[in-house]
Amino acid sequence: MKTHEIVKRFREHFERAGHTYVPSASLILEDPTLLFVNAGMVPFKPYFLGEAPPPYKRATSIQKCVRTPDIDEVGKTTRHLTFFQMAGNFSFGDYFKEEAIRLAWTLITNPQDQGGYGFDPERLWVTVYLDDDEAIELWQKVAGLPPERIQRRDGKDNYWDMGVPGPGGPCSEIYFDRGPDYGREGGPVADEDRYLEIWNLVFMQDIRGEQSPKLGHKPIGELPAKNIDTGMGVERVASLLQGVDNVYETDLVRAVIAKAEELSGRRYGADETDDVRFRVIADHSRSGILIVGDGVTPGNEGRGYVLRRLLRRIVRSARLLGVTEPVLGQFAAVVRDEMGPVYPDLVTNFERILSVVQNEENTFLTTLTAGSKIFDSAAGEVRAAGATTLPGDKAFQLHDTYGFPIDLTLEMASEQGLTVDEDGFRKLMAEQRARAKADAASRKTGHGDKTVYRELLELGATEFTGYEELASEATVRGIIREGQRVRSAAEGEIVEVVLDRTPLYAESGGQESDAGVITADGVELEVVDVQKVNRKLWVHQVRVRAGELAEGQRVLAQVDQEWRTGARQGHSGTHVVHAALREVLGPKALQSGSYNKPGYLRLDFAWTGGLSPETRSEIEEVSNLAVRKDLPVKIKYGTIAEAQQLGAIALFGETYDETVRMIEIGGPWSLELCGGTHVEHSSQIGPITLIGESSVGSGVRRVEAYVGMEAFRYLAQERALVQNLATMLKVPDAEVPGRVEALVERLRVAEKELEKLRSAQLLSSAGALAEGAEDLGGTALVAASIPGVSGNDLRTLATDVRNRLGSRPGVVALFAPEQDKVGFVVATTEAARSAGIAAGKLVPVFGPAIGGRGGGKPDMAQGGGGNPGGVPEAIAALRGELGRNGA
């Protein structure tokens, strides 16, 4: 049975049972505890946490998931994956254990010609939580399972919670016995390779405290409504129904391996070392392409860093399989073809995806070149010191800074007859992981106690009136001080205020929150910030300027009109610039993030390479032509499907309600999903002036602009600057660029002449240095401190002095001390090298004196140190060494 058919049957089974089908959420959600969605229940967390009332009693979904803690283990076994699909069914206070067991059992065991999966009931086992006698009874009653195929396990295996105080409950897991060829008898407690877990049913009934029941601690209470959260591993079920050994041989995954076989000419299953590489390519291609599809671009931190590692491991694995041509685009096409039927965004956004991955591959190939130079330098230092092991910190630097996988460093070291301090490398990696875990743990506070907001949300969502009016009468529903609900707030306090209705825009969609005031008789509150909790509750952070605010009080909430005018200009200006970018650059230049506030906008978009001045001018002109045309700005509402049919653009990573709001400027020219505040006609935006364009990551550029009065002020400053220059240069405004260019050219010529004079003066000292050589056991030594000389000049001078020593054995050691560092160059004559004196081997002799190190070849070595005061001691050490071992 093909994977898509497995998914189809799961969805239809639960829809027939009254479940609402919820499409997979993006891998990127606004969750402070997660880099990526890593389980099917994540999009439903607000309902399980009680932060929001669920819009349905029962739901089902096929959620794309990414888990990345064990990236380095992927490929080494057939069990580790970063990307997988989790099929799940969920109940929010509706059915509980018995119905969850019945629904799972019927789908698994019903014959395939009746819409089920057709698993043999005699080969199914289940596990339950230690004291969950009820679940045992239900498995016997509903499924007819004999007691010997129901096993009890402790909390580490069969209790679920979110890792923080909140909902939890016992689990019951379903396993399939693959037979004696896969391991020993005895059920899941004996061998989880033979008995493969395919489904986990979580009976969410408890409230856990600070200590988890997973570790044997008791829950602190029961949930008022019992919930069901289940997850079926689609890839695992596919491996069983397709009769293959593991998930890498299932249809959707094997297709990527087939492409890698085609490109490399090698065969999966022929060599275990190659198989690891095939599996890395197959898994990382799926996770990497899906992550890019949800709007992430490679970078050096957070999600971008994880994505970069995934993509670079694909390229490196392909290289180790002997593939020299670009591969990411070809693997991306396979993932699109295989996964597109389930995730159509992979098809519609493929041009952008392709651009991102191809750019990253090109960047990595450049990185390989740069990193190889760093490796060669490090290897040279090791050999110069007479050692054979590359230090662990060097291997870690190559991995962490240059993106070199450790296996690449090991291979390159082996090629040069060196080993790597793997223990030191792994220690540094462990420290990095510990820091990452600590950071992740700190992020989990994002799901701290939100009871206070939950209480207020139960009173109803905040009604936002800001689209129609700038002032609204409202009632104070709640006042929050330091996370606790209070009855009143006095003058001088900063508190959070929740109203039943408000015209003040809450920060979202890249737009800053409104400024404004909330007033009542004798009471005045300055609105500092407005945020949305769970997208339904407007929380105003206020400073009490006068009076005392009380819960239940009637107030007037007012938006600062000037602020809102500027905010509307900024947000509408963002849409206009986005449309202009796509008109000038093409449809691939899609927005990947934005920020706007009164008078200013910033827009990130998918693009590789900087924009020329001419292109920037064209984008600015197209934007301002749209302003001059006074295009109508219309608001439309509809479903996501209707918006997509109209061609509306959605922001990657954003979450939208079932009914969406579309902003249309000039018809189809600009049509985007957006909840922000906007002008009525494009002319109200005012002038748009681009002030900057830069790179913010691989394949992502950023433009910045002023709009409205801020644009006028910026242009006025530019005009004043030109007029001041014209006055200073005594030329008309139009001639300023030419005059400045002429002055710069004169300065450049003068600097070149000075450089020539300085170099000539420096090289003129070579003769005097050579004549001052001292004889040490038959070897001529020229050792001198020459402050203020650059590395290249120092090398040139050392070479000239060495040439002047002629055919005699000679060593030249020049030091260039600065305030807190010192560079050096050591050069030897041919006669000195014939006598066994090598420049690289002299570095360890004097290096400790200047706190430095370096390396090189027998004829020349160079490096630096951090103790310029140690130069005399370094020269003395050289004298002593040559005096003992002279030619």
**Separation of alpha carbons 256 and 268, rounded Å:** 11
**681 annotated among ligand-binding-site residues:** no
DSSP state of 681: B
3-class SS of residue 32: coil
**Separation of alpha carbons 475 and 502, rounded Å:** 9
**284 annotated among ligand-binding-site residues:** no
**Separation of alpha carbons 718 and 737, rounded Å:** 13
**674 annotated among ligand-binding-site residues:** yes
Give me the residue label for tokens 């009136």.
Answer: 465
**Separation of alpha carbons 691 and 508, rounded Å:** 24
Asked whether the CA dihedral 379, 384, 389, 391 is positive or negative, the reply is negative
**Separation of alpha carbons 346 and 354, rounded Å:** 10
Chain centroid offset of residue 34 CA: 11
Record the tokens describing residue 880, joined without a space.
């002593």
CA distances from 670 to 293, 619, 664, 751 (A): 22, 14, 6, 51
Q: How many CA atoms lie within 13 A of 821 on its CB side?
A: 9
Asked whether the CA dihedral 667, 670, 674, 676 is positive or negative, the reply is negative
**Separation of alpha carbons 221 and 212, rounded Å:** 12
Pairing type for strands 124-129 and 150-153 reads parallel
Record the tokens describing residue 36, joined without a space.
């990526």
The answer to whether 204 and 168 are in contact (CB under 8 A) is yes
* Exposure string for 96-110, b = 16+ CB within 10 A, e = fewer: bbebbbbbbbbbbbb
The answer to whether 619 and 611 are in contact (CB under 8 A) is yes
**Separation of alpha carbons 401 and 666, rounded Å:** 47
SS (H, E, C) 436-502: HHHHHHHHHHHHCCCHHHHHHHCCCCCEECCCCCCEEEEEEEEEEECCEEECEECCCCEEEEEECEE
Residue 500's closest CA among 473, 536, 532, 474? 474
Helix extents (H) in 49-132: 97-109
* Exposure string for 361-397, b = 16+ CB within 10 A, e = fewer: bebbeebbeebeeebeebbbbbbbeeeeebbbebbbb
The helix (run of H) or strand (run of E) holding residue 137 is helix 133-138
Dihedrals phi, psi of 838, to nearest 5 degrees: -110, 135
SS (H, E, C) 155-208: HHHHEEECCCCEEEEEEEEEEEECCHHHCCCCCCCCCCCCEEEEEEEEEEEEEE
CB atoms within 10 A of CB 782: 22
**447 annotated among ligand-binding-site residues:** no
3-class SS of residue 687: coil
What one-character-per-residue DSSP string does 605-668 give? EE-SSPPPHHHHHHHHHHHHHHHHTT-BEEEEEEEHHHHHHHT-B--TT----SEEEEEEETGG
The answer to whether 581 and 588 are in contact (CB under 8 A) is no
Please report, in range form, the residues annotated as the binding site: 571, 575, 674, 678
Please report, in range form, the residues annotated as the binding site for Zn(2+): 571, 575, 674, 678
